[in-house]
Structure formats: C-alpha cells, structure tokens
Amino acid sequence: MSNIGFIGLGIMGTPMAGHLIKGGHTLFLHSRSGVPAALLEAGGRACASAQEVARNADVVITMVPDTPDVERLLFGDGGVAAGLSQGKLVIDMSSISPVETKAFARRIGELGCDYLDAPVSGGEVGAKNAALTIMVGGSEAAFARAKPLFDLMGKNITLVGGNGDGQTAKVANQIIVALNIEAVGEALLFAAKAGADPAKVRQALMGGFAASRILEVHGERMIRRTFDPGFRIGLHQKDLNLALSAARSLGVSLPNTATAQELFNACAAHGGKSWDHSAMVRALEKLANHEIGQAAPAAD
C-alpha cells in the first residue's frame, strides 16, 4: 500500500479519493474548501498545504477545475513542487490545456519526478461508481506504476501517448459530448413541439441506432428537468475554449463545436454556469419558445 496525496476534493475528487482509501492506501488530503468529514472519518489525513501533501506522499494526484489552478498548486507558494523529492510521481487528473501540460511535465521532470496527465470522463456518477474513463499521457513506466491506482477509480483506462496526449484525448471527448447533448436536445425538443411524448420518443430511440449514453442519462435529465450539476456548464465552456483555441492554432475548423459553445454561452448569460451541461437544451428551448414537457400548441 502507498502514501497517496490527493488535492482537490470537489464533486469528482471526493469519491475518487474515497475509493483510494477503500483500496487500502493512506491518503494525505488538501482542498481549498476543506477536507470532507467523510474522508477524515474513513482514515484520510488533512494537510495544510499542497507542499505538505507532497512531502508526505509518494504519489500526488491533483483534481482541480482549470489550467491556472493546476499551475498554482504545482508551482505556487506552498505548492506541490516545493514538497517533492526525487522519484515521486505527480498525476494531474484535471481537464486542462495540453500545451501547458507538456510544460508542467518538463518542470516536474527537472525535479527528478515523473508526471502523468490523466483526465477523466464519466461525471459524478462515474466517480462515485469507480467507473471513470481515464485518458493518460506519459511514460509507460509511470503509467505502470499508477495503473493500480487508476483501477480503483475507473474501468476504461488507456495510455494514449506522451505527456499532453491524455489532455488532447479529453478535449476530443468533450467535443463529442457537447455535440451529442446538442443533438439529443434538438431531437427531444422537436418531438415535444410536434406533440409526441418526449419520454416515449426517448424510450423508442434507446432501442435503435440513435442510442447513446447521452440520450440515456442527459435525455432523462432534459425530460425530468433535473439540472443539478453532475458536470457544470462553466467547466464544459472551459473545455470547449481549449478545443477552439487549439483548433485555431492547428488551422482546423470546428463549426459545430463553436455552435455548442455559443449555446453554453447563452445558458451562462441566463445565470446557468452552474447548471448541469445537459441544460444546454434550455438555450434551444428559448429559441423555439417551447419547453420539453410543455403541451404542444393546438393545430390551427
């Protein structure tokens, strides 16, 4: 069993850290919002800083919202880098810039430590059920060392390539997810406006070629109007910004990704940054002046 550091204990990080504790590891924990009592009761140890976490742990995991957050935690005052010693492993499981990730990996490598970028997909449900998809960038040796830890948190675990490639895979994932949410929203809104029961339409589509995890989970959210966040619109906006900025530098056009981002922007303008990303459908509903679940207008 290992001494593991875990920094960032939000919606995703808390259950992920809990699985590592259940796996028999000693967890050294730090979070800006404080360490949840449940993790302390399970045996986790609270630390006053990221530096203290790194000093006590052989492997340090970060799980925070954005690129600047990771940079601050790694290299700011009282950060992870200040507590590292040669041979330790840093794993960033946040979703951040692939370009900056490569720079972070070089800086950690200069300290004699290994670095993996290992962003995840699966949301709160996947985190709670230890069923996350984990996309990893880094060396094969570092991946082999981390794999038993990943196995405690996820099910589909892939070494994509070198540092930064895990983050590139996550950006690609977020493009697909956003466009699927938009497609499901359009389809269910069309069905509702046409007078069909959107719940029964969804049930029918789940048995055909249109079936998807997005239709299953987020289609139900759209119908039930349950938009408490599993994954916040604000975070998905951040991920699509990474996609669109990288696409500009690569000379690649991503027209539908840009459209999905504009729909998220419309939701944010209506106070929806903290809504679940399935609430993108609300922007489509505004455009149609019709809400899924609302009775269709009578024919003239």
Among 102, 147, 155, 170, the active-site one is 170
Asked about 170 being catalytic, the answer comes back as yes
Residue with tokens 């056009």: 253
Whole-angstrom Cα distance, residue 138 to residue 145? 11
C-alpha distance from residue 121 to each of 76, 84, 87 (Å): 27, 28, 28
Classified as helix, coil or strand, 254 is: coil
Classified as helix, coil or strand, 246 is: helix
Classified as helix, coil or strand, 252 is: coil
Task: Classify residue 298 by its DSSP letter.
Answer: P
Q: Which residues contact 202 (CB under 8 A, 6 or more apart)?
A: 188, 215, 219, 220, 223
Q: Which residues contact 259 (CB under 8 A, 6 or more apart)?
A: 182
> Would you say 63 and 20 are in contact if contact means Cβ atoms under 8 Å apart?
no
Cβ count near 157 (within 10 Å): 18
> Would you say 20 and 4 are in contact if contact means Cβ atoms under 8 Å apart?
yes
Active site residues: 170
